[in-house]
Structure 1
Amino acid sequence: MQPRGLSVTEAYAVADRLPGWLTEDQARCLYDAAAAVPPGSTVVEIGSHHGRSAVMLAAALPPAARLVAVDPFPDDWRYGAAGTEAAFRANLAGAVLADVVDLRVATSAEVRAGWHGALHLVYVDGKHDYWTCRDDLRWSEHVVAGGTVLVHDAFSSLGVTTALVRELATSGTLRYCGRVGSLARLEVARPRLTDRLRVLKELPWWGRNLLVKVLLRLRLAALARALGHHDQADPY
């Protein structure tokens, strides 16, 4: 179903022109997840930046569905800057997707505190510290059984990974299904022991990514390339 008139390839051609960190495979994962929600559904995105992921999600939505994009756009954030909100709105308008996106300029916690209604899909890419990520994962409480929670940078950030591992080790309602790069896919379902063990098997890859980040900060890109990382940006 392609209600917005954009195939996944066309949507990525638009998104790939925008600043941000989302591989083509990850973009396709977002598109497919959004295309699978029922008509009239609401999808929530935590962290929007310039709209790279929002374009993929909004382009795939079925009829009468909407994307609620949540981002406070703070100027003091590492990747924030004056004008980011305006750029996000302009990018959606340029993609002819503004009419299906409801932007909430607020924190995830603020929006969730007043949230009512079921969700079928939540995409988490907010602040990467442990406490914020744990709080963002609470959006899963609004996701219907069988629904999807996607978490970006799930295995390339100390804060996100520790929050995710902690949550999946104890949750009785979230199961880990796998990853696309460092984009984790979770399902709202009772986890099995194999689901919990599957998360632990990702930790060596996470450790490699943390080492790569250290090497990049030490300007040791050649060593990072020896570990298979050929980008100037952190692993994502």
Structure 2
Amino acid sequence: MTSVGFEQAWELGDQVPGWLTVDQATALWQAALRLGPGARIVEIGSHQGRSTTVLGIAARSVGATVVAVDPFVEGKLFGGTPTRDRFEKHVARAGLGDVVSLQAEYSTKLRRRWDQRIDLLYIDGKHDYWTYTDDMRWSEFLVPNGEILVHDAFSSIGVTSGILVKVLCGNRFVYVDRAGSMARFRLAAPTWADRRRVLAEMPWFLRNVWIKVLLRLRLRPVARLFGHDSPYDPY
């Protein structure tokens, strides 16, 4: 196994179009490095392979593998076959053909016939409440105390609604921390202190929703007053 540092991995990953930030990539990298030989990472939502590249290089360094799950839905929003072609090109460019395997399928359908252990779960699929909460059911295959990283947490209304129902009001997940809008959870029974940490993120979530409203109303100068100087949603 060739030892590659995060800087080299990010240099490759950052060349792939996408929304993953360097802080979020670092969180993925560190989570993968906590695994051991033979571990399996499942990534739900791969797009062009930005996060897959980082996870794949980290996985190789510890002897793990990555299963990338993405249906590559046709149409302008998701890109369809051209996006899949770019994903495969980016994985090949990073030399990860033997580490990353692709399941071009809806995560909600694949889960029903999945029967393998998962050591790390990364969720960045469709952001509505129903899909996100279904994707959290992949944790049924996660090892005890296994980690789940979720993109667009406390930013997307659908994802955050799912967190409030399944994490704040549930008994299976502990909220650990976040890197921007990437939250880290652990498969374990939460304490009241764990639940309070979820509630403590609500002001930040409301701020993100407010900024999205301002951007939809084309009030970017007002959004700048709240610390958001970008035409894109806060992710």
Asked if structure 1 preserves the Cα contact closer than 8 Å seen for 2:35 and 2:62, the reply is no
Asked if structure 2 preserves the Cα contact closer than 8 Å seen for 1:43 and 1:119, the reply is yes
Distance 1:223 1:67 in 2: 42
Asked if structure 2 preserves the Cα contact closer than 8 Å seen for 1:4 and 1:60, the reply is no
Distance 2:81 2:215 in 1: 27
Q: Please state if 1:48 is matched with 2:23.
A: no
Distance 1:4 1:14 in 2: 16
TM-score, reference length from structure 2: 0.95
Within 5 Å, which residues of 2 pair with 1:1-236? 3-61=1-59, 62-76=61-75, 78-236=77-235
* Corresponding residue SS for 2:98: helix
Asked if structure 2 preserves the Cα contact closer than 8 Å seen for 1:45 and 1:123, the reply is yes
Identity of matched residues, %: 46
Deviates more, 1:85-94 or 1:110-119: 110-119
Deviations 1:159-183 (CA, angstroms, capped at 9, x unpaired) = 0100111101232221001111010
Asked if structure 2 preserves the Cα contact closer than 8 Å seen for 1:4 and 1:59, the reply is no
Asked if structure 2 preserves the Cα contact closer than 8 Å seen for 1:129 and 1:160, the reply is yes
Number of residue pairs aligned between Structure 1 and Structure 2? 234
Q: In the TM superposition, what is the alpha-carbon distance from 1:63 to its structure 2 partner?
A: 4.6
Deviates more, 1:160-169 or 1:69-78: 69-78
Question: Unaligned regions of 5+ residues in structure 2, if any?
Answer: none
Paired AA for residue 14 in structure 1: L
Deviates more, 1:73-82 or 1:207-216: 73-82
The CA RMSD measured in Å over matched residues stands at: 1.3
Distance 2:99 2:18 in 1: 21
Paired AA for residue 51 in structure 1: G
Q: In the TM superposition, what is the alpha-carbon distance from 1:106 to its structure 2 partner?
A: 0.2
